[in-house]
Structure 1
Amino acid sequence: MSTTQKKLYSYYFILPAAVLYIVLFIVPTFSSFYFSLTRWTLFDFEFIGLDNFVQLFKEESLAIGFKNTVIYTVVSVFFKVVLGLGLAMLLNKGLKTQSFLRAVFFFPSIISSVAIGLIFNALMYPTTGLINNTLRAIGLDGLARNWLTDPSIVIYSVSFVEVWKYLGICIVIFIAGLQAIPKHYYEAISIDGANRFEKFRYITLPLIRPALNSVIILSLIGGIRSFEIVYVMTQGGPGYASDLLSTVIYKQFAEGYYGLATAGNVLLFAAATLIVFPLYTYLTKREVEY
């Protein structure tokens, strides 16, 4: 068998996966760019140029959805990083119950987003929900809120649920990063008299950057494209108070504005790409090799 034949033979194993990827991802992706320029139904379409995008930017719900998506993403990324790293450091200290605690924190990640949305709908119910009832029972009546019907806090309520569901994955990534740091680095800096904060600043934080960058990028993408939790809990309400870009696009599809919704999907894809790729490039350049 010649060298060329050997190379072609290896590509035969890739071919089935490549065909599926092209058919299920590449073709629909590029088709959506075209159909975003049309007014289409399941049986017919009419090319209308950029009219869908012009109409989209006139929609009040788009501006609110964009603002809410930014808030939702920033809040979820911040708490996933801060809480995830803090809990990972705690669970990496060799506690007797660390295996049990790791399982507890990871468990929400494997539960359906729809199920979690329904559970927290019940927990956050203003009159009979466990959260408000617990606050009243311990004398903190003033902290009880209409978590899902108050326009001023609803976006933060659903952001909390996003953090609760995916925090376990962040913890696992951080623990993997912490366990990859050579122990002799800590021993060396301890000899120099470094305290815990200095160990964290000069050893842990620089060397955990690959894990930190992974959590930031995954959380950012997850926040931008989040849909199920918000839609199950609030359907974007009250009014547009918790609408994200994804829920706005879904409502347009549901109302039969397929071309407009496709333009919204293209806009969401472009926004995610323009944010994630430059950030990923910037973060990876700051990683420390060891």
Structure 2
Amino acid sequence: MATTAAPAALTAASPPRRRARSYLHRSYPLWYYLPAAVLFLVFFVVPTFASFFFSLTRWSLFDWEFIGLKNYAQFLSEPQMIGSLRNTVVYAFLTSGAKVVLGMALGLLLTSQIRARGLLRSMVFFPVLVSTIGVGIMFTTMMHPTEGLINSALSIVGIEGPKWLANPQLALISVALVDIWKGVGLATVIYMAGITAIPVEYYEAAKVDGSSAASSFWHITLPLARPATFTVITLSLIGGLRSFDLIWAMTKGGPGFASDVLASVVYKQYQAGFYGLSTAGNVVMFIVVMAIVLPLNYFMRKAEVEQ
């Protein structure tokens, strides 16, 4: 009797065990997300909510005082606020647009059958690897109005070079040109990956139909490289809206406030010891970036789905 009861008990207990093992088997891969989730929580979620809180306070290293929205009111009433916001948007769209156009052109060139492709690819990508501060210092010296390499080279052919960084109308554009030179290599690599992923059969079929190179580019390369274009636009636009290090290394927001952007205004307030005010400025900059990038990303994804 006992002998027959034991197998029956084991049989009755086996389905729950199998279900437990099956659940553990299904949930096991989820544990791989845990390290990334902890890092995301510690380095993004917690600092983000802390920033929102401290932007509502007047704080120092040892104490804080809740003051509500006064930091935001003061930051938004800063004399250079409108100018810095305009400079931020102009800088971001100028650099982003140029990287898209030049990245596409260089991507087409460096995926074609030309000689020394490997060397040219290395030369295009090399500026991405160089320190931004180092690039800023180098070009500040090269753009010196009287002793700089650029104006000295222009004077040889009889052209009087402008005051690149000392002219309020040219300072921001000059820094943007350096930013484009430094960042176009990354855009080129993204476009190269997108172009090489296009099946060769499409171009062969177009060639058989008598399509020109320009027509193949317009009807094949451009539509099928759209994901690469969206990636370049998103990355370069976010980078341009948050840009600080190159601008600070070359102009420190000058001359006057001509090349001030939101990030440089925030840094100046932090330097002056207005920590709560600078934190509110960071939150404003975060909101500006999200307000521009999220709708743009939504419409780009929608256009990609409808393609």
Instruction: Say whether the fold is shared (TM-score over 0.5).
Output: yes
* Residue 220 (1) aligns with residue 237 (2): yes
1:87 corresponds to:
106
2:68 corresponds to:
49
Q: Structure 1: how far apart are the matches of 2:35 and 2:213?
A: 52
Please give the root-mean-square deviation of Cα atoms over the aligned residues, in Å.
Answer: 1.5
Q: Structure 2: how far apart are the matches of 1:8 and 1:285?
A: 33
Q: Structure 1: how far apart are the matches of 2:39 and 2:215?
A: 50
TM-score by length of 1: 0.95
Q: Amino acid of the residue matched to residue 162 of structure 2?
A: R
TM-score by length of 2: 0.90
Q: Amino acid of the residue matched to residue 114 of structure 2?
A: L
Q: Structure 1, residues 202-232: CA drift from partner, whole Å, max 9, x if none?
A: 1111100000110000010010011110001
Question: 1:8 Cα deviation (Å)?
Answer: 4.6
Contact in 2 for aligned 1:207/1:289 (Cα 8 Å)? no
* Residue 78 (1) aligns with residue 100 (2): no
Runs of 5+ unmatched residues, structure 1: none
Q: Structure 2: how far apart are the matches of 1:16 and 1:192?
A: 53
- The sequence identity of aligned pairs, in percent, is 47
Of the structure 1 ranges 9-18 and 87-96, higher mean CA displacement relative to structure 2 is found in 9-18
1:169 corresponds to:
186
2:117 corresponds to:
98
Q: Across the two proteins, how many residue pairs are aligned to each other?
A: 288
Segments of 4+ moved more than 4 angstroms: none
* Residue 269 (1) aligns with residue 274 (2): no
Contact in 2 for aligned 1:185/1:203 (Cα 8 Å)? yes
* Residue 38 (1) aligns with residue 57 (2): yes
Q: Structure 2: how far apart are the matches of 1:16 and 1:94?
A: 44
What secondary structure, in the 3-state scheme, does the structure 1 residue paired with 2:58 have? Answer: strand
* Higher radius of gyration, 1 or 2: 2
> Among 218, 222, 229, which residue is 1:205 paired with?
222
2:11 corresponds to:
none
2:266 corresponds to:
249
What secondary structure, in the 3-state scheme, does the structure 2 residue paired with 1:286 have? Answer: helix
What secondary structure, in the 3-state scheme, does the structure 1 residue paired with 2:304 have? Answer: coil
Q: Structure 2: how far apart are the matches of 1:177 and 1:82?
A: 14
1:130 corresponds to:
149
* Residue 114 (1) aligns with residue 133 (2): yes
Question: 1:71 Cα deviation (Å)?
Answer: 1.3
Q: Structure 1: how far apart are the matches of 2:235 and 2:263?
A: 17
Question: 1:25 Cα deviation (Å)?
Answer: 1.2
Q: Amino acid of the residue matched to residue 38 of structure 1?
A: T
* Residue 26 (1) aligns with residue 22 (2): no
What secondary structure, in the 3-state scheme, does the structure 1 residue paired with 2:145 have? Answer: coil
Q: Structure 2: how far apart are the matches of 1:80 and 1:36?
A: 34
What secondary structure, in the 3-state scheme, does the structure 2 residue paired with 1:46 have? Answer: strand
Q: Amino acid of the residue matched to residue 89 of structure 1?
A: L
Contact in 2 for aligned 1:73/1:223 (Cα 8 Å)? yes
Q: Structure 1: how far apart are the matches of 2:302 and 2:156?
A: 51
Q: Amino acid of the residue matched to residue 34 of structure 1?
A: F
Q: Say if 1:10 and 1:186 are closer, same or farther in 2 by CA, change over 3 A.
A: closer
Q: Structure 1: how far apart are the matches of 2:276 and 2:236?
A: 29
2:252 corresponds to:
235
Question: 1:102 Cα deviation (Å)?
Answer: 0.5
Question: 1:289 Cα deviation (Å)?
Answer: 9.0
Contact in 2 for aligned 1:36/1:262 (Cα 8 Å)? yes
Question: 1:20 Cα deviation (Å)?
Answer: 2.2
Contact in 2 for aligned 1:207/1:288 (Cα 8 Å)? no
* Residue 153 (1) aligns with residue 153 (2): no
